[in-house]
Structure 1
C-alpha cells in the first residue's frame, strides 16, 4: 500500500539531516586532509632519512640486530649484515697475547696473534680486531708464542705461504731444516734467531731440562697454512707409502702406523722413554748452519739516545763483514717476504722517540718492562695505550709512533720488520722537523720565525 505522505516526510527528513550535517562534515574532511598531509610528510622524511643511512652504509640493511646492552655494531658488506662487539680502536694495534687462551697439546702450547679466515677461531673480540687490522693493512706479518715442555717436539712440518723467523726467548732446542738440497741440524739457545724458508720441512726439539719458549714471526698477513709430517704420511695411501719408502715388511709394516685422535702439533708421548733409545744432537757445518741461525745476542750494539738496537740483520750483503751475517743475509735474499728481526732496549724511564718507517710494517713483542705506546694514524687521530710483558704491538708502515719506558725496569722488545730484501728505512721526528726550513715551520704553526731557534739543529 502506497503512502505518499510517509514517503514525502521521509525525504524531507533526510534532506533536513543533510542540510544540518554539511558544516560539520566539511570540518571533518578538513581535519582528515590535514592528518593525511602530515602523515605523508612524516613518511617522506622517514624514507629520506633511511635512504641517507643506507647510502652511507653502502647498501640496504634488511635486518638490524643490536643486543640489549647496545655493545654490537652493524657491519654491512655486499648487502649482508653481521655484527660483532664494539672494540676500542687501540686493539687494532695492541694484542694482549699473554692473556689469550693457548692451544694446548701434549708437548706444549701455542698462542697466536694473527688473522683468521673464520671469525669463530679468534680467541676474543680484541684478538679479532688485531688480526683483521694485520690483514687489512697488509702487514705481511703475524706472530705466535710457542712453549715446549722438556722432551717435547714441535713436529716436522712446513708452511705453504710464509717464511718463519724465530727468536729463542728461553731454553735450549735442537732444530732441523730439510730442503730440496740438504738437511741441516743445529742447537739454538736464548738470544738466537732461526730462519725457516717457506715449504722447508723443519722441527724444534726441546733438549734442555726446562721449558723452551720461542717467539715465531711469519711473513704473511694471511692465515698461516701448515702441514705436519704425520698428516702427510697418514694421508698417503698405504701402498703408495710402501712403494715410496720401501720398508722391510712392505705394506704390512706401513699398516702398523696409526692415525692419532689428537693433534700432534707439539708432541710428547707419555711413554717416550720406551720409544726412543738413542739421542744424538749433532750439528752441521757452520757454513750450512748460518743459513738458518743468527746469534742476535752476540751481534754489534747500535746505541741511540735512551736505548740500543741489535739487528739480525738490516744491512745489505755488500756492507756485511761477519761471515755469519753474510751467509744469513744471502739465505734471506733467496726468499721473498723475509723479515728483519731486532732486539730493542729502551732504558728505564727513557724514550724511543717518534719515528716512522718508509718500507716496512713493524710487529713487536714485549719481553720485559712496561711502556706507553703512541701512534698517529693517517687520519691524524692519535692512539695511545700502555703495554707490558707478553703484549704484541703493531705499527703500520708510514705511521709515526713512539715508545716511552714508564717503569724502573729496562724495556726489552723483540721486533720484526716486513722489509723483504731491502734495508729498513726510518725517519725520526727530530730529523724531519729540524731539516724543515724555519720560515716554513713559522708559516705552518703561525709562530714567529725566531722562536724556532729554540730547537737545536744539527
Structure 2
C-alpha cells in the first residue's frame, strides 16, 4: 500500500507515487479539510447539546405524564367497587348523621350519584334499586330522653328490631283515629305502616338502638311534623288549630336552626312538667308490636331461628301472634323478620327464596357469605348489612370464635318459600343427577336423608 509522509523540517510531501509539491497546494488542502471536519463536528455537537437542553424537559414531562396516566388508571381501577359490594354494605363505617338526640346511619339508594360517600355504597344502593328489592336499612340510636319526633313515610312501611334499650312508641291509627302506644324492650319488633304518624322516645337509662328496614329501594320520603308545621302559612295554621291568641300564638313558634328529627333540647326539664307513658291494651298493640324474643325457637343442629311473620298455619299459634301476622298480611309490601343464631362452625346451608329478596344486619360475630351469582364470596362483621336478590342461592357460614347473630328481613308479606340444597338433591331422581353430574347413579346413594331439618347445619 502506498504511503504518504510529511517531513516537517522540509515542509514537503514525499511519496512513491506522488511528485514533490513545491507550491504547498496539497498541504493547504489538507489543512482546510481538517478545519472543515472539526467545524462540522463542533456544529453537530452544538446542535445535539441544544436538542438535549431543549427537549429534555418535554421528554421528562411526557414521561411523567405517561407515568401519571398509568397511576391514574391504577387508581381508577382500585376505586371501582368489587362485585361483593352489590351484596355488602359496611353500614357501621358509613356517614354518621349526628343530631341532638342521636345518630342515624344508612344502607340505601340515592337518586343523585354524587350523594353517595363512596363507590362501594353506590354499588350497594344501585344493586337494591336495580333488583326492585323494596328494602332500605338504617340504624337509629337515641340518647336517653331523646325522641324521634312525630313523622310519617310517604313511600314505605317501617319494620324495626330493638337491639338495646327501652323505647316508648306511639302510633296514630287511621280513622277512627286513636293512639296506640307501648313500651318496647330489646328483642322486640315493631311494624309501622306506610303514611302512619308515629314517634319513638328512649325512656331507659342507656342509649336505645334500632335496626330499621323500610319497604322501598327508591329514596325514602319522610315528613316530620315540625317541618310540615313551619311550612304551613301562619294564618292557615291559626285557622286550623284555633289556639287562644290566634295568629299571635302561632307567631311565638320559632324554627330552630338544627334538624329536630331526633330531638333532645338542653332545657327539656324546663319544657316538660309531666310525662305520661301510657300503654294500650295488648290486643290493640299486637297489630304493631311483636315480642320475637319470646316466640317459638326453631332449633337446628347448627343454630336457632325465630320469626315475626305471616303464616297460613292458624292452629297452635298464640292469639297475639295471629293478630300480628294478620296485620302484616293485610298491608301491602310488608316484610317478614327473623333473628338467626348460628353456632360456632355452623352454616346456613346453600338455599334460595322463591318469593323474597333478603336483607340482613349482623348484630355480632363474623361470617363468610357466598352468592352464586358470579361466584361472589365475602366476609362480614358486626354492623354490616347484606343483600341477596330473590331466587339467588347463597350461604352464610360462621367463621368467628363465638356465636353469629343476625336480624334478617325478607320482602314478602306472604308465607316465605325457601329451597335448601340438600332438599333439592334428595328430591331429584338419582338417574337425573347421574346424567347431570356425569357420575354413576349409585354414587348419589352416599348422600343421606336427614330426619331433622338441616337449614343450619354443623360439620
Q: Find the aligned partners of 1:88 and 1:320 in 2 and give their Cα distance.
A: 47
Structure 1 contact 140–219 (Cα < 8 Å) conserved? yes
Deviations 1:350-392 (A, max 9, x none): 1111100000001010001111111101xxx211111111011
SS of residue in 2 equivalent to 1:288 = helix
SS at match of 2:72: coil
Give the TM-score of the pair, scaled to structure 2: 0.80
Match of 2:167 in 1: 173
1:450 is paired with a residue whose SS is: helix
1:90 pairs with one of 84, 91, 106:
84
Which structure has the bigger radius of gyration? 2
Q: Summarize deviations over 1:318-365 as a string: whole Å, max 9, x none.
A: 456211111112222231000000100111111111100000001010
CA offsets per residue over residues 251-299 of structure 1, 9 Å max, x none? 0001111112121111111111111111111101111111110000000
> 1:172, CA displacement in angstroms?
0.3
Match of 1:252 among 225, 228, 248: 248
Gap change, CA 1:326 and 1:451, over 3 Å in 2 = same
SS of match in other structure, 2:260? coil
Matching residue within 217, 222, 227 for 2:218: 222
Match of 1:387 in 2: 380
Compared CA separation, residues 317 and 228, structure 1 to 2 (3 A): farther
Partner of 2:349: 353
1:372 aligns with 2:365: no
Task: Name the structure 1 match of 2:180.
Answer: 184
From the superposition, tell whether residues 67 and 236 of structure 1 become closer, same or farther in structure 2 (CA, over 3 Å). Answer: farther
Q: Is the 8 A contact 2:359 2:388 kept in 1?
A: yes
Partners of 1:95 and 1:391 within 8 A in 2: yes
Q: Paired residue for 2:289?
A: 293
Q: Which TM-score applies when normalising by structure 1?
A: 0.81
1:145-187 deviation per Cα after TM superposition (whole angstroms, max 9, x unaligned): 0000111110100000000000000000110101223211110
Q: Distance in 2 between matches of 1:97 and 1:188?
A: 24
**Residues of 1 paired with 2:108 and 2:316: CA distance?**
33
Q: Which runs of 5+ in 2 are unaligned?
A: 1-68, 451-459
- Structure 1: distance between partners of 2:71 and 2:226: 45
Alpha-carbon deviation of 1:407? 1.8
Q: Can you give the 5+ residue segments of structure 1 that lack an aligned partner in the other structure?
A: 1-64, 74-83
**Is this contact kept in 2: 1:159–1:227, CA < 8 A?**
yes
Q: 2:72 aligns with which of 68, 71, 87?
A: 68
Per-residue CA deviation, residues 26-51 of structure 1 (Å, 9 max, x unaligned), is: xxxxxxxxxxxxxxxxxxxxxxxxxx
1:401 to 394, 403, 406: 394
Helix, strand or coil at the partner of 1:72:
helix
CA distance in 2: counterparts of 1:319 and 1:218, whole angstroms? 30
Contact map agreement 2:359 2:385 (CA 8 A) in 1: yes
Does residue 434 of structure 2 align to residue 438 of structure 1? Answer: no
Aligned mate of 2:409, from 385, 402, 416:
416
CA contact (8 A) 2:310 2:328 kept: no
Asked if the contact 2:309–2:328 (Cα under 8 Å) also holds between the matched residues in 1, the reply is: no
User: The residue matched to 1:68 in structure 2 has which SS?
Assistant: helix
Q: What residue number does 1:102 align with?
A: 96
- Structure 1 CA distance, aligned partners of 2:316 and 2:248? 54
Specify the alignment match of 2:420 in structure 1.
Answer: 428
Is the 8 Å Cα contact of residues 317 and 329 (structure 1) preserved in structure 2? Answer: no
User: 1:149, 1:206 within 8 Å by CA — same for their partners in 2?
Assistant: yes
- Cα distance in structure 2, aligned partners of 1:67 and 1:317: 61
Q: Is the alpha carbon distance of 1:67 and 1:118 closer, same or farther for their aligned partners in structure 2, counting shifts above 3 Å? A: farther
State the SS of the aligned residue for 1:216: strand
CA offset digits 1:62-101 (Å, max 9, x no partner)? xxx998244437xxxxxxxxxx941100011001111112
Distance 1:245 1:187 in 2: 30
Q: CA deviation at 1:404?
A: 0.8
2:298 corresponds, among 294, 299, 302, to 302
1 CA distance for matches of 2:369 and 2:141?
A: 27
User: By how many angstroms is 1:317 displaced?
Assistant: 6.7
Q: What corresponds to 2:441 in structure 1?
A: 449
